[in-house]
Structure 1
């Protein structure tokens, strides 16, 4: 649970990325090892979940709808927080036009794609051209759409062995029948997502929370808002922390994060408020204090305008549901 939810703590260290991923509540849907040989092309249009792929051997071409084709090679890790349709195909040899391959799940749990490998004279099959670990997970948070909008739309990490280890642990744990499996998988997924996002070094990364945290001027203001959401933050005060004029800070924050400073703060405060109200363990006055409103009435007005329902009605509906 994010530190912010346990109450404002002056001077406490805050990690906004951990806050967001913790609130997202990632849950494993599937994780599998896939092997491909010869030319192949697999198309998926029915995902609508988080997608990640770790290439263990060989190379492939990943074409995500709305994005340029991406060559993914052994040691590369790709994560897309919100994906609907994509195509995976062979690079060497290239897939001919019109080819559609059908993945075949094996009794050993490995999914095989493309040409069937024939055993040699000694009965051993040659290695597959491509081996990849593919996973899908969902976010349990009702505010997932808002929280995902703060993250990069694609993460590409090259040669980071820790990600392969974490992805393998997620796969093994998800397939096991051990006590507390779901809890362990959720925590492993949180670590996997955090590691992937903080390892992302693409220079063309889109605007969002991660890019803001990496910015020497914007990062301190983001951490301050997460560390103490109850503070009476203003653009001049946040600009002073960034060492910029008010107008320069406003422009830079908007460009790097994708939202104006006060819009980001409002979204984060309301996300925290909804989380606390859903828990049923916080009264409206307590929630208003924890996220920086001087009175319950001021909070109720802002919450109703932002969410479309009063705090009391929202809490009643969330608990009943």
Structure 2
């Protein structure tokens, strides 16, 4: 069966933006607004509070890992002692490259490794929309280790560094997604893959995008009635089954068109359209212009 996360992460083409080690002393709060890069944080020691706008604050303990695929606005603060309402801290970079939060001369109480990454794919917005908006992994030491390896490699001047960093980043993201598959996760692909009913249908769609899937057929794959499957898929994944399938097919189509290695007829067959004309019509409706024009504009 197909591995949807590996496929999506590979198509996203993640690239490391920067890493930093941050130490907190006493009360502190830092806030980031209108951030477009993916954000991740591994808490090494101490406790801290993360509040993503629109969500309840969450307490992070040592070993916890947070991934926000499309971070917008969030704040990170001390727990004991808590910062005063409305007070923001300015991170200060030390001579050792470590950023200090709160009292720069105080005893270090919180240590965290923070990273941002960008997605090079022109279809990043579409692909990220298939992912959960927030992943929290509790007490998984391997993620902290991966983050450390990634930071060390990015700072080194070794042969093939960029290739190694890209692959390590892919491994980190995939590990975060599969480790964070909890029933209480927010709606999205992660929660869908963890569901015993919906998971097989998602893997089936990714394994055979060329198949002429229908809601009744997917419902049989899930072992549910059509109405029960449709309602469950919407609730868990956050979108209708055919909408998800269309998004995935169009992401694949864009990738294949940019490669310049396939004809429009070949692509139409690979993603489940009976003819090039049917695919062209659907693509133009979805993207805004026909596949031939897209290929000429965006091919590698």
Do 2:183 and 2:194's aligned partners in 1 also have CA atoms closer than 8 Å? Answer: no
How far is 1:69 from its partner?
1.4
Do 1:156 and 1:202's aligned partners in 2 also have CA atoms closer than 8 Å? Answer: no
| Secondary structure in structure 2 of the residue aligned to 1:301 | helix
Question: What is the TM-score with the length of structure 1 in the denominator?
Answer: 0.89
Question: What is the TM-score with the length of structure 2 in the denominator?
Answer: 0.95
User: Corresponding residue for 1:301?
Assistant: 281
| Cα distance in 2 between the residues matched to 1:26 and 1:298 | 32
- Aligned match of 2:199 in 219, 235, 251? 219
How far is 1:107 from its partner?
2.5
> Are residue 108 (structure 1) and residue 88 (structure 2) matched?
no
| Cα distance in 1 between the residues matched to 2:183 and 2:193 | 14
Give 1 or 2 for the bigger CA radius of gyration.
Answer: 1
Do 2:181 and 2:191's aligned partners in 1 also have CA atoms closer than 8 Å? Answer: no
C-alpha distance after superposition, 1:29-85 (max 9, x if no partner): 011111111121222225221111111011112122222111111111111111122
| Secondary structure in structure 1 of the residue aligned to 2:49 | strand
> Are residue 58 (structure 1) and residue 46 (structure 2) matched?
yes
**5+ unaligned residues in a row in structure 2: which ranges?**
none
| Cα distance in 2 between the residues matched to 1:256 and 1:179 | 44
> Are residue 163 (structure 1) and residue 143 (structure 2) matched?
yes
Name whichever of 106-115 and 167-176 sits farther off. Answer: 106-115
How far is 1:319 from its partner?
2.5
| Cα distance in 1 between the residues matched to 2:275 and 2:104 | 68
How far is 1:202 from its partner?
4.1
| Cα distance in 2 between the residues matched to 1:164 and 1:208 | 24
How is 1:15-30 mapped onto 2 (pairs within 5 angstroms)?
15-30=3-18
- Number of paired residues? 300
> Are residue 93 (structure 1) and residue 73 (structure 2) matched?
no
| Cα distance in 1 between the residues matched to 2:87 and 2:224 | 55
How far is 1:97 from its partner?
3.1
**5+ unaligned residues in a row in structure 1: which ranges?**
1-12, 119-125
- Aligned match of 2:246 in 241, 266, 269? 266
| Cα distance in 2 between the residues matched to 1:238 and 1:88 | 42
Q: 1:253 to 1:25 in 2, by over 3 A?
A: same
User: Corresponding residue for 1:83?
Assistant: 71
User: Corresponding residue for 1:248?
Assistant: 228
How far is 1:275 from its partner?
0.4
User: Corresponding residue for 1:34?
Assistant: 22
User: Corresponding residue for 1:277?
Assistant: 257
> Are residue 130 (structure 1) and residue 110 (structure 2) matched?
yes
Misfit runs of 4+, over 3 Å: none
How far is 1:184 from its partner?
1.1
| Cα distance in 2 between the residues matched to 1:263 and 1:291 | 14
- Aligned match of 1:148 in 128, 148, 172? 128
C-alpha distance after superposition, 1:173-194 (max 9, x if no partner): 1111222212111111111111
- Aligned match of 1:47 in 35, 39, 53? 35
C-alpha distance after superposition, 1:182-227 (max 9, x if no partner): 2111111111111111111444312111111111111111111111
| Cα distance in 2 between the residues matched to 1:235 and 1:201 | 25
User: Corresponding residue for 2:166?
Assistant: 186
Do 2:153 and 2:164's aligned partners in 1 also have CA atoms closer than 8 Å? Answer: yes
| Cα distance in 2 between the residues matched to 1:242 and 1:44 | 41
User: Corresponding residue for 1:10?
Assistant: none
Do 2:181 and 2:190's aligned partners in 1 also have CA atoms closer than 8 Å? Answer: no
